[in-house]
Amino acid sequence: MVLKRNRYKRERQQVMVSQLQENPFLTDEELAELLFVSVPTVRLDRLDLGIPELRVRTKDVAEQFYGQIRSLGAGELIGDILELDVGKRGITVLEVKKDMVFSKTKILRGHYLFAQANSLAVALINADVVLTGSASVRYLTPVFLKDKVVAYAEIVGQKGKSFVIKVNSKVGSAEVLRGRFTVVAKEMNDL
Amino acid sequence: MVLKRNRYKRERQQVMVSQLQENPFLTDEELAELLFVSVPTVRLDRLDLGIPELRVRTKDVAEQFYGQIRSLGAGELIGDILELDVGKRGITVLEVKKDMVFSKTKILRGHYLFAQANSLAVALINADVVLTGSASVRYLTPVFLKDKVVAYAEIVGQKGKSFVIKVNSKVGSAEVLRGRFTVVAKEMNDL
DNA sequence: CCTAATCTTATTACCAAGTAACAATGAATA
DNA sequence: TATTCATTGTTACTTGGTAATAAGATTAGG
């Protein structure tokens, strides 16, 4: 039976995976020492398991991090405009990408949904400077990787320079977020 | 005059720095192309400016990211941990960078503040999967470029698997955000 | 106009951490 | 015992560099 050999091999590979989960910055040489095998064996194991080399692993981690910061920062609007009637209502769509979800569950992280809604609310106001004053949101159902979130926003009230905007986000027909934003239009020289 | 040469050199180095700020994953070769100089010149410039090679840069980014989090799973937290007492309270700090602000006013965009608070609230809960159920936040004063936002979060209530967390964010002694998050802990197999 | 100082480019030897392909060795089992 | 798979070693090649040195280009200053 091949089992004994395979069992040993598999066990070792398991250990390797968990080692790398703990510390993705291990070289093949270091792994070889930890697992009491030669460097070529480590390479074969990685090949077996589809684990890329150290430098690729490092880059992946770095890019995930960087991408996250970036995607929150890119442009003034989170999501793509489908419709925008400034002063009244607007619709944007956000496609859920890999780096926006919790890795374990593939569920979209809350602040992305918030960011889409918030930035759309702000975009509805026709003024030089618009700041969010308060926000209240309810997350209704989880959103998953590759879902397309459509956010509908509408101005429902105004008192002077203060606006109230209601936002509804949906995936297909399922409501995923319901929110109410108060935003304030300010003049540049108010600051 | 040596100035002209230096000025040209300095200008190029300035450009290099800003290129790398935007994308730290550029090789010397790519930089050389962008700056219309040879690879050795790029190396000399990096040496001049104390900028490490690509692989070190990448690793730095990755480690900064990885080092602090660990148990939370990759990149789930916006801001850097100052204190984290899981199940009770936590403090993070977020430095406001150029790409987080409205370009006109240099005011931090609301969803960053929200993301910092929200992700800290989630981090306080010791469970495999934690989702935000609802959130209510008030933005009290604007936050500007280069400010350091310190977020204080504390669990103030619990009903079964549902937790209420209060978050206060400050810049110096000024309160900038006050929020209340309801988050729900779920088991993996609930989904 | 020519030279010295500074920039820029080229060249060479070296390194780490790999990939890819292949040969050689070992060990266990049917 | 023959075979089968795991393991190890070896070699040639790749990327993205460091470090050191030499040679060419530019230009300001005398």
B13-70 confidence digits (pLDDT tens) = 999 999 998 899 999 999 999 999 999 999 999 999 999 999 999 998 888 666 543 3
CA B171, B175, B176, B177: dihedral to nearest 10 degrees? 130
Q: Model confidence over A137-176: pLDDT tens digits?
A: 999 999 999 999 999 999 999 999 999 999 999 999 999 9
Which of A104, A107, A114 lies at the smallest CB-CB distance from B114? Answer: A114
Burial B46-73 (b: 16+ CB within 10 A, else e): beeeebeebeebbbebbbebbeebeebe
User: What is residue A3's predicted lDDT score, i.e. its pLDDT?
Assistant: 36
Asked if B92 reaches chain A (Cβ–Cβ under 8 Å), the answer is no
How many beta carbons lie within 10 A of that of residue B105, not counting itself? 17
CB of B75 within 8 Å of any CB in chain A? Answer: yes
What domains lie within chain B, and their CATH numbers? 3-61 (1.10.10.10), 72-190 (3.10.129.10)
What token pair was written down for A83?
Answer: 């419709």
pLDDT (tens digit, 9 = 90+) per residue, B110-125?
888 998 999 899 989 9
- The full 3-state SS of A134-188, as one line of letters, equals EEEEEECCCCECCCEEEEEEEEEEEECCEEEEEEEEEECCEEEEEEEEEEEEECH
A129 has which bridge partners?
A186
Confidence of residue B4 (pLDDT cuts 50, 70, 90): very low
Q: Decide: CB of B33 under 7 A of nucleic strand D.
A: no
Cα torsion at A85, A95, B76, A183 (round to 10°)? 0
∠ CA B70-B71-B74 to the nearest 5 degrees?
60
Q: Which of A58, A70, A136 sits opposite B58 (nearest CB)?
A: A58
Residue A187 pLDDT: 63
- Consecutive H or E run containing B23: none
Q: Are A167 and A149 in contact (CB under 8 A)?
A: no
Nucleic strand C contact set for A 24-83 (CB, < 7 Å) = 27-29, 40, 43, 46-47, 52-55
